[in-house]
Amino acid sequence: MDLSLTTQTYGVDDQSWLGSEHGTQATEPVTLDTSAFTAGTHYPDGYFKSGIPLGVITATGKYGPYQGDATDGRETLVGFLFAAVKAPTVNTVDPAGAMLVHGKVRTSRLPVAVDAAGQADVPLIRFI
């Protein structure tokens, strides 16, 4: 048994992109493919930001950042990372998270912009 003193640091989560409480109680579990994200954009402070638009990578079934011009499945928006997730120190570890798949989203508050094509991919999300 290890009784040594340890320190845990937590990030501050900004969920101001949520337009309502609707859908927050029915998120879906996802596994993030860390290698698909860019550290400076998606987790500059060591946490994947909540509100990151997600697409599913067809070959692995894991989730990466939505990218309209991708060709690996991420070109289709499927939801948004609901809460911040601690990023691993190496990009070969893939953490779990939760994804918002229906509800309201404030586009001006998203950490990464979503184009009109992406918005059309998710009919259960209302963009305000």
The pLDDT score that the predictor gives to residue 9 is: 61
Q: Model confidence over 104-124: pLDDT tens digits?
A: 999 999 999 999 999 999 999
Query: Quick one: how far is CA 5 from the chain centroid?
Result: 32
- CA 33 → CA 44, 70, 88, 95, distances in Å? 16, 15, 11, 8
Q: Looking at residues 79-104, what average pLDDT do you find?
A: 92
- pTM of the predicted model as reported, rounded to 2 decimal places: 0.88
Q: Model confidence over 11-62: pLDDT tens digits?
A: 568 899 999 999 899 999 999 999 999 988 888 888 999 999 999 999 999 9
Evaluate if residue 1 carries a pLDDT over 80: no
The pLDDT score that the predictor gives to residue 48 is: 92
The pLDDT score that the predictor gives to residue 72 is: 96
Element (H, E) at 104: strand 103-105
Evaluate if residue 91 carries a pLDDT over 90: no
- CA 53 → CA 6, 60, 64, 74, 75, distances in Å? 34, 18, 8, 10, 11
The pLDDT score that the predictor gives to residue 39 is: 87
User: CA angle, corner 25, sides to 24 and 29, nearest 5?
Assistant: 85
The pLDDT score that the predictor gives to residue 82 is: 96
